Amino acid sequence: MSLPVDPERLRREFPELSDDDLAAYVEVTKRILAAGPKDRGRLTREAVEGGRSAQEAAASGGKLSAEQSLWLRYVAAVDKMQRSTVRPR
C-alpha cells in the first residue's frame, strides 16, 4: 500500500521528525488507509484520542501498552508536522 506522501518527502519537509515519529506515522496511516473509506474517520479519531490519552497517562507515570505507545508516537509526529505549517499572522 502506498502512502499519500512519500516518507522521505516528509523527512525533508519536516526535519524535526525523528525516525521513530516517522515510523509511527507510516504504520498508523497505513492502517487507516487499509480500513477503507467508511472506517477511516473513526480510526483517525481513535488514533488521535488514544494518543492524547496516552500523553496524559505517560505524564502521570502510567505504563503504556504497545498500541498506546504507537498512538502516542503518531500524535507526536502529527503535532510536529502541524507546528511546522502554522505561520504567524
pTM recorded for the entire structure? 0.85
What does 15-74 look like in DSSP terms, one character per residue? Answer: TT--HHHHHHHHHHHHHHHHH-HHHHHHHHHHHHHHHHHHHHHHHTTPPPPHHHHHHHHH
pLDDT band at 86 (very low <50, low <70, confident <90, very high): low
Alpha carbon distance 66, 89 (integer Å): 39
Residue spans of the domains in the chain: they are 7-80
- pLDDT value of position 2: 81
pLDDT at 55 over 90: yes
